[in-house]
Chains A and B, each alone.
Chain A
């Protein structure tokens, strides 16, 4: 699972969101590292929908513009859960190695 997909799933796990809200949520979750382009966002959303991990929710018109909401499906929640387990295991393994070298695993950011 790419980092983009992971972050979009995470954003949708909280509540159903429309496209622009997903872009904002991903930027926040990644602390500004990842700004999704519209073309990229729809590539990710198309893939999630066709894999059955997300689905279309309600539509709203906001200031004359269409907003279509997307929500996570049950298998989307399970996919996110599995990815979190995988990443956590990696983090635990790396932390153990760093501790073995006498280094703090959680370095403070400059």
Chain B
């Protein structure tokens, strides 16, 4: 036994509980340790046992649900962390909207290429994975979260196909960053306690993204610029409406887009001037304040 009288097993459980937010632990740690150690009186057990895998995974799940709390699912959540979960969910949704845009653009490009014998041989069944975000969006709105997460992993899987060629690794990482972040945000943000997103409003947003994808599919090369410009516009709208959650999510999204854009600028792409201009706008988008100083409270 240690000098403080705390046994190894208890110390290990307390270490595990450190994955929970501080405000949650302050209230619950003693109670939880009491349950972990209930009826465990054997000296050998108390000195040499470790928390089991099942307990560990359950605590990790609780950590995700408390760190990214859904507004109504917990009482006693400090105000300054309430928005964190909402921002992660909003970022996941924005990523899916981007996926809708690219998915529809890919369909248009395929339709155009199909009639052209020069491009037709390049089409493989891998192409179907581009539709992942469309499936994920529909699944999420209808409350099928697991399906949504699996479908959102599709673009990541698609990109893994290029891993065989190391020279493309950097390019892959740069351009797939939004897909990867979207997938992670969906997995973490839409946990069991999180609310289903507002269907009616998102159908409008999704419809808009698909229409833009339709146009973007025909105007090749302009896709990245169009997405960047829309990001800036949405950010301005969020600021005017005082929507802090949307504002923060769009700021993070702007950072994600900056990465491939900076890559294009450094590589000296043919769209250097508009790309550099847009990069500057995105930097402003990312760092601009999310609400006017005069605004009253948060709209979460």
**In the bound complex, how far is the Cα of B32 from the Cα of A23, in angstroms?**
12
Query: Residue B36 at the A interface, CB < 8 A?
Result: yes
CB < 8 Å neighbour of B32 from A38, A47, A49, A50: A38
Chain A, range 4-54, C-beta contacts under 8 Å to B:
19-20, 23, 37-43, 46-47, 49-50
Contact B60 A20 (CB under 8 A): no
Closest to B37 in A: A65
Interface size class of B (residues with CB under 8 A): 20 to 34
With the chains together, A90 CA to B75 CA distance in Å? Answer: 34
| Alpha-carbon separation in the docked complex, A49 to B62 (Å) | 15
Determine the interface band of chain A, counting residues with CB < 8 A from chain B. Answer: 10 to 19
- Verify B59–A39 contact, CB threshold 8 A: yes
- The reply to whether A43 and B36 form a contact with Cβ atoms under 8 Å apart is no
- The answer for the CA separation of A40 and B55 in the assembled complex, in Å, is 9
Question: Would A43 and B72 be within 8 Å (CB), given that A66-B31, A66-B34 are in contact?
Answer: no
Cβ of B81 under 8 Å from chain A: no
Out of A37, A40, A41, A65, name the residue touching B34 (CB < 8 Å).
A65
Q: Which B residue's beta carbon lies closest to that of A24?
A: B38
Check A39 against B34 for contact (C-beta < 8 Å). Answer: no
In the bound complex, do residue A42 and residue B73 qualify as a contact, i.e. CB atoms below 8 Å apart?
no
Residues in B with CB closer than 8 Å to A23 are: 35
- With a CB–CB cut-off of 8 A, which chain A residues contact B37? 65
Closest CB of chain A to B27's CB: distance in Å?
A: 9
Contact check: which of A38, A43, A50 meets B75 at CB < 8 Å? A50
Pairwise interchain contact B73-A20, C-beta atoms closer than 8 A: no
Known: A43-B61, A43-B62, A47-B193. A38 touches B35 (CB 8 A): yes
Query: Top 5 A-B pairs ranked by shortest CB distance?
Result: A39-B58, A37-B58, A65-B34, A39-B62, A66-B30
Binding site for B on A (CB under 8 A): 19-20, 23, 37-43, 46-47, 49-50, 62, 65-68
> Apart from A37-B59, A38-B58, A42-B28, what are 18 other A-B pairs with CB-CB below 8 Å?
A20-B35, A37-B54, A37-B57, A38-B55, A38-B59, A39-B57, A39-B58, A39-B61, A39-B62, A40-B62, A41-B35, A42-B32, A43-B61, A43-B62, A43-B192, A46-B73, A46-B193, A65-B38
